[in-house]
Amino acid sequence: MGDAGVTPLRSAGTLTVSGGLLPASGVTVEPREDNSYFRSAFSKIWEPGQRITVKGSGARVPAFELSVSAPSDFVLEAPAVPRDDEPMVIPRDKPLELRWSAIPDKKRVALSSSVEASPGTPSVSASCEYESSSTTATFPTSVLGLFPKGEAQINVSSRNEATTLVAGKSVAVHARAYAKGTSGTSVSRNVTLE
């Protein structure tokens, strides 16, 4: 099986994100050199259920406007997630079983690892999406065994999305909320695989 390569990103011009707890005028994000977008927020930008609207001014991707409902906050009940200043260790020789509180949104569970010891070595990732009725997920040992020992990243989140067709191309907006552990720590964190 050959490598199909990476699809290049396309600019949608300036993005304006509004709604939720954002300023009435919204916030703008410009495309980076590779046409990706990034803007971090260190404060809460929505309450669950509020509408978030994304407008693209138009470029290679024509102008668009999409609104999505902000996803729900939820708690990862198992495994225990330690505070940020404490390590989280995941053994690879037994299944990783996750359990979370019920919410009305889809959930996404992802585990990823980048191997940097050997240049050109591909990263390893595994992710699954679950419907709103689901409250559990399991990464079996057959999957965990594909990951090398060492540092990895785990993300457990809820998400809502909206899609539309613009000039025959699909445009999607995702709103994502990361789970919190019972200690209040975000479940978007580094872990150690053993």
Q: What is the CATH number of the domain that holds 193?
A: 2.60.40
Structure tokens at 116: 């940097």
Tokens 């809820």 correspond to what residue? 158
Residue 186 pairs in a beta bridge with 180
Angle at 163 between CA 162 and CA 165, to 5 degrees: 155
- Tell whether the model's pLDDT for residue 51 goes beyond 70: yes
Q: What is the pLDDT of residue 46?
A: 94
| Residue 1 banded pLDDT, cuts 50, 70, 90 | very low
- Radius of gyration, alpha carbons of the chain: 19
Q: What is the pLDDT of residue 168?
A: 85
- Tell whether the model's pLDDT for residue 79 goes beyond 90: yes
| Any domain includes 2 | no
| Residue 121 banded pLDDT, cuts 50, 70, 90 | low
| Residue 2 banded pLDDT, cuts 50, 70, 90 | very low
* For the chain, percent of residues with pLDDT exceeding 70: 92
Looking at the structure, do residues 128 and 87 belong to the same domain, yes or no? yes
Classify the C-alpha dihedral 149-152-155-161 as positive or negative.
negative
| Any domain includes 1 | no
| Any domain includes 151 | yes
- For residue 163, the Cα-to-chain-centroid distance in whole angstroms is 17
Q: What is the pLDDT of residue 119?
A: 59
- Tell whether the model's pLDDT for residue 164 goes beyond 60: yes
Looking at the structure, do residues 111 and 165 belong to the same domain, yes or no? yes
Tell me, what DSSP letter sits at residue 144? Answer: H
Structure tokens at 100: 């979370």
- Tell whether the model's pLDDT for residue 162 goes beyond 90: yes
* Whether the Cβ atoms of residue 10 and residue 60 lie closer than 8 Å to each other: yes
Helix (H) or strand (E) holding 138: strand 136-139
| Residue 116 banded pLDDT, cuts 50, 70, 90 | low
| Any domain includes 41 | yes
Angle at 14 between CA 105 and CA 67, to 5 degrees: 25
Looking at the structure, do residues 98 and 160 belong to the same domain, yes or no? yes
